[in-house]
Amino acid sequence: MKIKNILFFLCFTLVVIAANSQDFSSKNQLLKFKQFSLTEGLSQSSVLCILQDSKGFMWFGKRDGLNKYDGHTFKTYRYNYKDKNSISNSFKRSLVEDKNGEIWIGTNNGLNKYVTHEDNFERFKHNKSDDSLIDKI
């Protein structure tokens, strides 16, 4: 099955679950959906992973960057070989928020932690010799 079909199925399933969990006893409650594209600021049209963090930000992992949406605008994070605090790779595979509210991003080149107060990233790489993580790659 193609990745677009899988993503569509997952999004559809999440919408159905969210819709079924809502209380529609009032006629004033309506679900509102907004579609985003490149013209609204997404770095690419294909989304590989999505996260809504505990602060309400939406994160979209893509093949060409990480997009953070604050409800009004997008900010795009990409790998920059000249900047050691940029994300380690522009191809995003996974997004997760831990119990401390830290955002972790899995890429083709290791694990990254978003540093909120600096608006940049710490990079971690797998150490095959002892199965640990090495930071500051």
What is the tens place of the pLDDT at every residue in 108-124? 878 999 999 999 999 98
Model-level pTM?
Answer: 0.67
Grade residue 72 by pLDDT with cuts at 50, 70 and 90: confident
Computed from CA positions of residues 99, 102, 103, 105, in that sequence, does the dihedral angle turn out positive or negative? Answer: negative
Give the Cα-Cα-Cα angle 69, 36, 59 (nearest 5 degrees): 30
Which helix or strand (DSSP H or E) is residue 7 part of?
Answer: helix 3-21
CB 137 within 8 A of CB 122: no
Domain 39-135 CATH class label: mainly beta
pLDDT above 80: residue 35: no
Between 38 and 108, residue with greater pLDDT: 108
pLDDT given for residue 48 in this prediction: 83
- Return the domain boundaries, the chain: 39-135
